[in-house]
Chains A and B, each alone.
Chain A
Amino acid sequence: MNGLTNSFLSHLACGFDARLTPLTLLFELFVFSGVAAAFLILPKVKDKVGQRFLILSVGVLIFEVFTAPMWHNHRLGWWAYVYRDVSWVLTIGWAAMILSVVLLVDHFLPRWEEWHRFALYLATLTVLVSILEIVVVNIGIRGYAPEVLDSVIGIFVWDVPIIEVIYYTPVFTTLVISFYKYWSFAIDEQLLIPTKRRKWLRSFVIALVGILLFEVMIEPMARNQNLLDWSYIFHDISLLMTGTWILVIWLAMNIVNKLFIHYSIPQRFLIALLVTGAIALPLESWFIINGYRVHGESAIANFTGFTTPFTHVPVEVAFAIPCYMALVITFIRYWETAIDNKL
């Protein structure tokens, strides 16, 4: 085993306080009861709950892996982690809560338009997640990276930066619910209208909204610097860099959906993921190598030390790109499909 591997091992889940406390044990029992209750109640309102739960858990896990450097999740027990301090206990807890809200709102308000119901999911979940966030922070599970604390406005309610939680939660739940809803088209084998006339401007606006909201949220993970002054639109979010992502994703999505219109949802998703990833990786590497994108200390601490061949950027960057793209692609495609099909 070489030095690099030793350094990698010391960075993994072995390297933080995973010891269970009575309060965190109680919290875990609460989560397991919640998941069990969801599995008892939800099959009465919707079929294929197992598959839906799995898809939502994947969406939440992708988000948690991607944003891992922004916060830490400690004291959940040595068996509660899937990668570093990303915990499956929190993943299934969030997934059960989000799925319950989505399925119950859909069940009780079937006549509402999709975007009305979506707004109700977000409002309900913002309240629930804020309460749970206060709980996990105060029992010593959740903590924030210094970069996140530096970027917050500074209004704390029981140690939680409440303004940021009220912003982060709808963004997180919008991405995760869109991910779930996109895949639920496949689960439900829903009849979706193939679109011949592509609405380029509309898909650009959807891509712009999704990517900007996500970029503002993950802003503390890296600094964008040395770009032209006029291009900064909010903190260090640059029109040049974010605009590049929007253009790449928007163009790739439209081309994939035009050329592969006859393919199934999973096939089109994978093609879009491969195409956007293949363009984004060298671009992101170029930004990093030339000093335009500098990762924060917490992100660097999360790196294992392995670098990609040719571009020599941390391997985590290569893994983060498909996570980012998976959430953004499903967000764009879900809203396009919902509008086209008047859901």
Chain B
Amino acid sequence: MSTPIRSFKSFAVGFPLVFLCLAAFTGGLSNAFWLLAASVVCTAGIGLIIWIPLSLVTGWAALTLAKEIANTTGISSRDGAVRNAAERTEASIRQQAMRSSSPQGVVARTVSQNTTSQERIALDEYIRRAVRLGHTYERILTTLTEQGWKEAEIHQAFQVATNH
């Protein structure tokens, strides 16, 4: 979607939300209207440079939240479907590693217990971007172990990133 259309969509969603929040905080729709109108009129319209960006940010946040909810509840868009497919591939690589009876398999099982899914997503994303920027495995390993990540989980995430 092009930027102007996206901005318009964010504004169209954000402005009513800002107005309703204003009404909730000022104790009524009429109070919100007069606050908004007066803050624009008394600054010769320049006050809009606060309200418009505020509406855009609010709209963007609301749309992002709606998208996240749609993705997690399965009412996903095409982007969500692509992402789900990628997640399934990653999960299968991880499950293969965990099923293995080798020492790496034992480590992979331990890693899976000690790392939350949010942390794993963050780690995968970091490694994917680092690989794209040309960072070597050694460099990634050193940087991440300093921040508390285990070698095994870095190795596993690196495999996922390079198998894509």
Contacts and interface: CB of A to CB of B under 8 A. Distances in A.
Contacts of B148: 195-197
Given A83-B50, A262-B121, A194 B147 contact: yes
A158 interface: no
A262 B119 contact: yes
B147 A340 contact: yes
A204 interface: no
A137 B119 CA distance: 52
A13 interface: yes
Contacts of A196: 115, 119, 123, 147-149
Interface stretch (A104-112, A142-150, A239-247, A300-308): A300-308
B89 interface: no
B42 A13 contact: yes
A83 B47 CA distance: 6
Contacts of B43: 12-13, 81-83
The 8 closest A-B pairs by CB, nearest first: A197-B148, A262-B121, A196-B148, A12-B42, A194-B122, A306-B26, A5-B34, A262-B122
30 contacts: A2-B30, A5-B34, A5-B38, A12-B39, A14-B42, A78-B44, A79-B46, A81-B46, A83-B43, A83-B50, A88-B46, A88-B49, A191-B133, A193-B144, A194-B125, A196-B123, A196-B149, A197-B148, A260-B118, A261-B119, A262-B118, A262-B119, A266-B60, A306-B27, A306-B31, A308-B26, A309-B25, A309-B27, A315-B35, A319-B25
Interface of A: 1-2, 4-5, 8-9, 12-14, 58, 61, 78-83, 88, 191-197, 259-262, 266-267, 270, 304, 306-309, 315, 318-319, 340
